[in-house]
Structure 1
Amino acid sequence: MNRHVLDQAEKLLAAAREKKLKLATAESCTGGLIAAALTEFPGASDVFERGFVTYSNEAKIDLLGVAKELIAKFGAVSEASVEAMALGALENSRAHLALAVSGVAGPGGGSADKPVGTVFFAVARDERPVKIVRKNFAADLSRSEIRKQAAAFGLSLLMEAVEPSLIA
Structure 2
Amino acid sequence: MFMTRRYGKSLRGMRNAMRYASSQYNRNSQIYIHESPNGYKYSFSPKENSIPIGVSKNLQSINPDNFKVNPQFVDILQDTLRKHTYNDFTFVMEAGVNASAYMAIYDLREIPKYSRIPEVENILGYVQVDVNGKMVPDSYERNELYRICNGTAGLPKLSEYLYPLIQEQCESK
TM-score (norm 2): 0.23
TM-score (norm 1): 0.24
Q: Highest relative contact order (Cα 8 Å, sep 6+), 1 or 2? A: 1
